[in-house]
Structure formats: structure tokens, C-alpha cells
Amino acid sequence: MTPIQDILIVGGGTAGWLTAAFLARQLGTAQGGVRITLVESSDIGIIGVGEGTFPSIRGTLSAIGIGEAEFLQACSATYKQGIRFDHWVRPPGTPGADHYFHPFSQPSQRPGAPELLPYWLGGEAGPTRAFAEAVTLQKAVADARHGPKRVGDGDYLGPLNYAYHFDAGRFATLLATHGQALGVRRVIATVDRVDLDEQGAIAAVHTREAGTLTAGLYIDCSGFRARLIGEALGSPFSSMRDVLFVDRALAMQVPYARPDAPIASYTIASAQESGWIWDIGLQERRGIGHVYSSRHCDDSDAERALRRYIGPAADDLSPRRLTLDIGYRETQWVKNCVAVGLAGGFLEPLESSGIGLIETAAYLIGQLFPFNGDTAPVARHFNAFMKERYARIVDFIKLHYGLTQRTDTAFWRDNADPASFTESLKEKLAMWRCRPPQRLDFITDVEMYLPASWQYVLYGMEFKTEPGAWMAPLNRGEEARREFATIAQLGAHALRDLPPHRTLIEQILARSDRRAA
């Protein structure tokens, strides 16, 4: 067994540079530890979309050594407190709630206070308050377009949980600069041949411009092409397109009408006839895109829906067109090669799992790193963990579609048909029809989305327990009512304490400029 002293990463998108920078920090590249080389093609661009993140990104940026103000400045980044889902339950113009919110903050749970979900289900929060609104103050703050923190809170800290929206192209550039400062060697070249040894491991990769490159461990970050893990090693791709139907995207960058326009601190996911539109506010523009199912709608109808959503601001813009491979490789680590990012899988952008999965993979590789060259046990654990994580994300995303009451188009009818559900999702829903979800229903280390996120979506989608199957508890109703009232009061207080979103960003950038001067 030969000890691993060097890594070759193929691909310089978010997956490649985030993994490179993270591992350079973990494995002491700049101090003479494991050497890292990243090879990226100048002929093949990065995907350049992926503007919404998950709160774990704060820990990752901090681990890489990027300051929050530097990140906001370099990537035109803004704060994200959750996702607002418009028209997922019922189509526009139908009586009933037209949106729900998935906040990042957990339900408020003061020590000793009763768990609030059963009392919310029992009507103790009042008949009209949606679950997310009743149990956290984040929706009130986000609705008012205030930020999740104050300028004086430390980097990556704040009273409310948050992630970011950012410009994906600028993010890759920032990560590349940091990665190189951390000792990563950058090679601009296109891999055009891969040699395998007699055991089927990668022996060398050949490039057009930089000759032959070898390493102890290869990390495939080559995007949907999956140049190493798919093309060279043949690790099979499990398509999820019969569960998650969207497989095309149109993306536009839309300037604000005014430079001081308020910025939403949440993603809007607006359900359409055959897919949904994302609407993300950055500092200088919005990123707006339509993801849709090509089996339910043609490209020109999809573009019309996107233009209708944006209005006249779209008149002079042409969309970027993308085809999506929805699914994942069950074996992402084969011998001396591990896939990260789109090369490993992609499950549509609805809950921003793409970059979160890159962070998970980079973290696992750093934790499990097989210094002695014995990759087999590490690969088994990595594969088991990632497969389970992907499978649970599939269920979580399908939950958003499968609980719809929409019957207006074939897309929504097909989505609500249990024949399109995974067996594991059917089992979960069967259990929750008899009683509300509990913490122990989830193996939380594997889950990317915590139990509260499942509850926000379940009850946002107006999921119902079978009548008579379960009874709301009554014994601590008085305390629960007091908790609900306190959360509402805290929401009002937070609006005085937390600045408007755009003001917060401007204050943080101005403070950072003053410090630099």
C-alpha cells in the first residue's frame, strides 16, 4: 500500500475549488502536507448557476478562512433566511393560502417549554397562523425584508439562522484565489484520456496542454461530464427522473429597476404549470430561472412562462438553457477516485442541496482521508453515507411536489400520484398520517434537512393526520399559548433590532472598507 501524498482534482467549478480550498486547509497543503493540484479546462466552462445555499456554507467558508465581508463583497452576496413557496398547494386565483415559508431557524423551544407542533396542530396558536409563522420569528423578519443579524454580530454569527445567495461565477473565482493562496497548484488543461491500471484504478490522466498528471487520489469535479467516475470508471448513474420530473432550466440575470430596491432575504420558488421559477435577489441583480419537465411542457412554453413572470425587464434578455441529469451515482468513490459535485449527482435546485452535498463530500474526504493509501474501507463508508444522504434528499424534495392539491395540469397530477413516490417516502407519510413526525423518525447525522424542515414543508403543504388516528395533547395548552404569544412579541421586537436587509449589507461592507483603509 503506497501512502497518499498528493491529490489531483479535475474540474474548477464550485465543486473543484471548494473541495481544493477545504482540503488544503484540512490536510496542511501550504505547510508541506498533502499536495493538491487542480486541473481545469479553459475550453469547457463551469455551469455558473447555483446561487442559493444552505446554512452549512457559513461553517465551510469559515473553515476555508474567508471573512464574511470579503465574501459578501466578492460574490455580490446577500442573506438567505429560507424559501417562500408560492402556489405549491393550489394554483393562483384559488381560495386558500397562496404561499408558505420554509425558514432556516428551528422552532423556538425554550428549556422546559412544551414541544409546540402538537399544540399548533391542536389549534392553540390560533386558527390562521401557519406553522412556520407560529413557531419562529424568522418569517416575520423575512417578510419585512430585514436581515438575520446586526452589523456588530461576528462573522457568520447572528440571532437567526441563515445562508446566502451569491453570484456563482464570482464564487468560483474567489475560491480559486483562496485555494491558490492555501497552496493549491492550478493547471489549465483539458483531460482527454484516462489510463487505468490492472486493478481498474486510475493510473494517470493525460491532458492536451500539460502532459500526463498522476496522484495518489483523484477527485472528479468535472461536472455533468463525470470524466473520471463516469466515463473512465463506469460507475452507474441512477436516474431519479421518474420521481423528480424537472430536467430543463432557463436562467436569466435581471437588473433591479432602482439601485436601492429592497432585496428579499429569501428565495422565492414560484410554482408554474410544469415546474417552478426561482427568484433570487443579489446585491446588483436578481437571478431568475425556470426549471421544468420536458415531458410536460415544451421549451417555448417554458420561456413564455419565465418572461411572463419577469415582465418587461426580460424583453432585452436571452435565457441560458440547461439540460439537467437528475439522479446520482450510488458508488461515488471507486478505488482511488472520488466524485464531488455534479459528477456525483444532482437533485434539482429546489432546496439548494447541490452545494450542500459538495460541502458534505469535502468534509467527509477530509475526515476520512486514507493517508496510508488503504482507500477501500473509507470508500465503503463514504459511499454508504452519500447514498443514504442523496436518498433522503430525494424524499424531502418529492414531499414538496407530492402533497400538492393542484390538479390543474398533468405535471401536478403526475407528481401527486403515489406511483411516482419512493417506497421510503410512502412509509414516512403513512406513519405521519397516524401521528405527527417525531425527532426519532430521522437519523439526523445522515439527514441534510433537520426534522423541523420536514415539518415546515409538511404543514406548509397542509398535510393532514387521519381524523381520529391521533389526539392533540391538552395538558400544557396554557403554557403553549404563552409560548406562541412570546414568539409573536419577539418577532415585533426583532424588527426594531435587526436592520433592513440592504442596509445590513451596506453597513457590513462600509465597516470592512473603513477597516481596510
Residue numbering of the annotated binding site for FAD: 12-15, 191, 342, 355
Applying CB under 6 A, does 14 fall inside the site for ligand FAD?
Answer: yes
Binders of ligand FAD in range 313-342 (CB under 6 A): 322, 324, 341-342
Contact track, ligand FAD, 41-60, x by CB under 6 A: x--x-xx-xxxxx-------
39 near ligand FAD (CB under 6 A): yes
231: DSSP letter:
I
**Within positions 154 to 183, which residues make up the interface with ligand FAD, using CB under 6 A?**
168
Q: Does residue 221 interact with ligand FAD by CB under 6 A?
A: yes
* Nearest in space to 338 (alpha carbons), one of 228, 248, 413, 440: 228
| Site for ligand FAD contains 243 (CB under 6 A) | no
Q: Which residues lie below 8 Å from residue 245, measured CB to CB, with a gap of 6+?
A: 293, 295, 296, 401, 411, 414, 415, 420
Minimal distance in Å, beta carbon 269 to ligand FAD?
10
With CB under 6 A as the contact rule, the residue among 37, 105, 222, 332 that binds ligand FAD is 222
Asked if 326 and 299 count as a contact pair (C-beta separation under 8 A), the reply is: no
Decide whether 39 or 182 has the Cβ nearer to ligand FAD. 39
What are the binding residues for 7-chloro-L-tryptophan? Answer: 80
Tell me whether residue 330 is exposed, middle or buried, using C-beta atoms within 10 angstroms of its C-beta: 0 to 12, 13 to 18, 19 or more. Answer: middle
Q: Which amino acid is at 107?
A: P
Question: What is the identity of the amino acid at 49?
Answer: V
* Residue 274 near residue 292 (C-beta atoms within 8 A): yes
Query: Hey, CA dihedral for 319, 323, 326, 330, is it positive or negative?
Result: negative
Cell numbers 458508488 correspond to 331
Pick the binder of ligand FAD from 349, 436, 451, 491 (CB under 6 A).
Answer: 349
Sole binder of ligand FAD in the list 62, 108, 180, 190 (CB under 6 A): 190
CB of 156 to ligand FAD, least distance (A): 18
Q: Which residues are annotated as a binding site for L-tryptophan?
A: 351
Count the site residues for ligand FAD by CB under 6 A. 37
User: Site for ligand FAD (CB under 6 A): which residue of 4, 7, 9, 15?
Assistant: 15
Q: Which is nearer to ligand FAD, 222 or 265 (CB)?
A: 222
Write out the binding residues: 12-15, 80, 191, 342, 351, 355
The nearest distance, CB 260 to ligand FAD, in angstroms, is 26
* Residue 322 CB, nearest approach to ligand FAD (Å): 5
Contact positions with ligand FAD (CB under 6 A) in 370-399: none
Active site residue 428: no
Q: How far is CA 261 from CA 257, 285, 445, 501, in A?
A: 7, 10, 40, 11
Q: Are 102 and 54 in contact (CB under 8 A)?
A: no
- Say if CB 19 and CB 365 are below 8 A apart: yes
Q: Which three cell numbers stand for residue 432?
A: 405521519
The one catalytic residue among 80, 139, 149, 398: 80
Indicate whether 249 belongs to the interface with ligand FAD (CB under 6 A). yes
Which residue from 4, 7, 8, 10 is in contact with ligand FAD, where contact means CB under 6 A?
Answer: 10
Write the DSSP assignment of 305-324 as a string of letters: HHHHHHGGGGTT---EEEE-
- Kindly list the distances between the CA atom of residue 106 and the CA atoms of 44, 390, 450, 451, in Å, as whole numbers in the listed order: 41, 22, 9, 9
Supply 130's cell numbers.
401557519
Distance CA 47, CA 32 (A): 32
Q: Which of 191, 213, 219, 264 binds ligand FAD (CB under 6 A)?
A: 191
Residue from the set 4, 9, 13, 20 that interacts with ligand FAD by CB under 6 A: 13
Active site members: 80
Binding site for ligand FAD (CB under 6 A): 10-16, 39-41, 44, 46-47, 49-53, 168, 190-191, 221-223, 225, 227, 249, 289, 322, 324, 341-343, 349, 352, 354-355
